[in-house]
Amino acid sequence: MLKSRIIPCLDVNEGRVVKGVKFQNLRDAGDPVELSFHYQDQGADELVLLDVTATRQERIAMLETIERVRQKLSIPLTVGGGIGSIEDAGRLLNAGADKVSINSAAVRNPDLIEAMSARFGAQCTVVAIDAKKQGEIFQVLTRSGTTAEAIDAVAWAARAEALGAGEILLTSFDRDGTRSGYDLPMLSAVTDACSLPVIASGGADSVAHMVEAFEHGAHAVLAASIFHDANMTVGEVKRKLAAAGVHVRTD
């Protein structure tokens, strides 16, 4: 049977891994190549590298970071952040990404999902959705959480699937970096509305939070703080998940 995946996430700014709270107040958390290898060694099932830099020059440096990480990594690598076109996606794949995650650009131009899926395949087209609770709905946010869109995350996930996405990376803005657990109602709403694999992101602080996410339909969980601050290794997390009855990869 398919295993539940544990995915450490590295936010990369100017060639360094950083971590913030609610997408703000970035602090240094290490070298991306070193950390990637370290997490792979601990048993990470996959890695996500998010480019949180803004300038064009920094983006070119990001390609170099991806190349260096790829040479070391024998597990899948997803890269996201600032991808605006199919050419951008192609450059990241050539640098060594296995999957490309698009966010703001997909909201602005949903045809990009279709174009990427046709060119590179659904398995390589990840749609990242950042959202927060707004009244009765989960409102989509773009531009690193700074722009609220008039779009419901649940409907958007279903549309992304119809357009050819292969996976959804669902981040709760309300929970990001707060260590208060994943947004379970949002996770359930999205996994009910969409038949793609969904990666839950934002808020993990314990194995119990991850178990909850898997119980609410997540296929994978993303976590950053919990691993960067070394309060738990990926291996420890997986052993505890296995003990709680979650099927994880063990070798």
Q: Which residues are catalytic?
A: 11, 130
Please tell me whether residue 93 binds other proteins under the rule CB under 8 A.
Answer: yes
CA dihedral sign, ordered 145, 148, 150, 154:
positive
Smaller CB distance to other proteins: residue 110 or 120? 120
Residue 244, SS3 per DSSP: coil
Please tell me whether residue 8 binds other proteins under the rule CB under 8 A.
Answer: no
Smaller CB distance to other proteins: residue 56 or 195? 195
* Closest separation in Å from C-beta 102 to other proteins: 16
> Cα angle at 11 between 226 and 223, to 5 degrees?
25
Please tell me whether residue 120 binds other proteins under the rule CB under 8 A.
Answer: yes
Q: State how far the alpha carbon of 148 is from the alpha carbons of 80, 107, 250, in Å.
A: 20, 11, 40
How does DSSP classify residue 173? Answer: T
User: Which residue in 17, 102, 187, 196 binds other proteins (CB under 8 A)?
Assistant: 196
DSSP 11-39: EEETTEEEEEETTEEEEEEE-HHHHHHHH
User: Which residue in 187, 220, 226, 246 binds other proteins (CB under 8 A)?
Assistant: 220
* Closest separation in Å from C-beta 67 to other proteins: 8
Binding to other proteins (CB under 8 A): which residues in 27-66?
40, 45-46
* Closest separation in Å from C-beta 9 to other proteins: 16
* Closest separation in Å from C-beta 198 to other proteins: 9
* 3-state SS string for 120-167: HCHHHEEEEEEEEEECCEEEEEECCCCEEEEEEHHHHHHHHHHHCCCE
Please tell me whether residue 195 binds other proteins under the rule CB under 8 A.
Answer: yes
47-51/220-223 β-pairing: unpaired
Q: Which residues bind other proteins (CB under 8 A)?
A: 1-3, 5, 40, 45-46, 70-77, 93-98, 118, 120-124, 166-167, 195-197, 219-220, 249-251
